[in-house]
Amino acid sequence: MKYKIIIITVLLISSIALLSMFNVQYPHTYKENVLYSQNDISGYNEKETEKSSNLVNRNEAIKIAKYYIEDILGNDLSSDENKMYVNLYKNDSSAESYYWNISWSSPNLACGIEINTINRQINNIYVNRYLNNKYNNTTPPILLSKDEVFDIVGDFIEALGFNMNMYRLDMSNMNFNIDGYQICTFINKNNPKDKFEIDISITEKFITNYVRNP
């Protein structure tokens, strides 16, 4: 009897040790209006870190992302081949705000957006169409003129809420990036540190990238 008790005790301890090692967790649904840490999202835990009716929740973040990427920038997200990815994180532990990163991926399109959960500011957007097509850098196209740039980016800048009476397009530093897209930097006339960058596909006339204060 004594040996049976010892054997049962050993088996029980072994089982607990194995469970602790693997620590299996099961997925849960998101709670609306709740922010999660990076570890919480990766582990599908529901540890609430902050709550406020003013914060951008998951559904609202997706709605904002679709508005800019589909409605304003003209990218079709309706294809069944488009896979959506949603992530919530802090850039570093001392950052004030969490950020939603919403992205889509398909054979012909990769795009994404980063949204500040507190002030709803769009930090960056990227759009990569026709991933199988490589840029032919043997014959670089001519830079777009100021008027051509504003024809392409005007509605987008207005949607972002910038007052263009306060910003100027830095014509002296317009150039191509390594992918052959034209880099257009807009600088606050009263504060040179306040700026945003928009990259444009010259051949196809669409916005490929936006960055706030690059």
- Count other C-beta atoms under 10 Å from residue 114's C-beta: 22
Residue 20 counted as domain residue: no
**Tokens 């649904």 identify what position?**
29
Query: Which of 110, 133, 156 is the last residue before a domain boundary?
Result: 133
More confident residue, 64 or 88: 64
**Which of 127-141 are b and which e, b meaning 16 or more Cβ less than 10 Å from the residue's Cβ?**
beeeeeeeeeeeeee
198, 209 in Cβ contact below 8 A?
yes
Check whether residue 129 and residue 38 sit in a common domain.
yes
| φ, ψ of residue 44 in degrees (nearest 5) | 55, 35
100, 41 in Cβ contact below 8 A?
no
Residue 17 counted as domain residue: no
Domain that residue 175 falls in: 134-214
Check whether residue 129 and residue 161 sit in a common domain.
no
Give the model confidence (pLDDT) of 139-198 as tens digits: 667 899 999 999 999 999 999 999 999 999 999 888 888 788 999 999 999 999 999 999
> What tokens does 174 get?
């317009």
Report the alpha-carbon angle 32-35-39, nearest 5: 120
Query: Which of 133, 166, 182 is the last residue before a domain boundary?
Result: 133
Domain count across the chain: 2
Residue 82 counted as domain residue: yes
Give the model confidence (pLDDT) of 31-87 as tens digits: 444 555 444 444 323 334 444 456 888 889 999 999 999 999 999 999 888 999 998
Give the model confidence (pLDDT) of 106-129 as tens digits: 988 999 999 998 889 999 999 998
CATH of the domain at 51: 3.10.450
What distance separates the 2 farthest-apart alpha carbons in the chain? 92
Residues comprising the chain, all counted: 214
Check whether residue 93 and residue 121 sit in a common domain.
yes
pTM: 0.73
Give the model's pLDDT for residue 137: 57
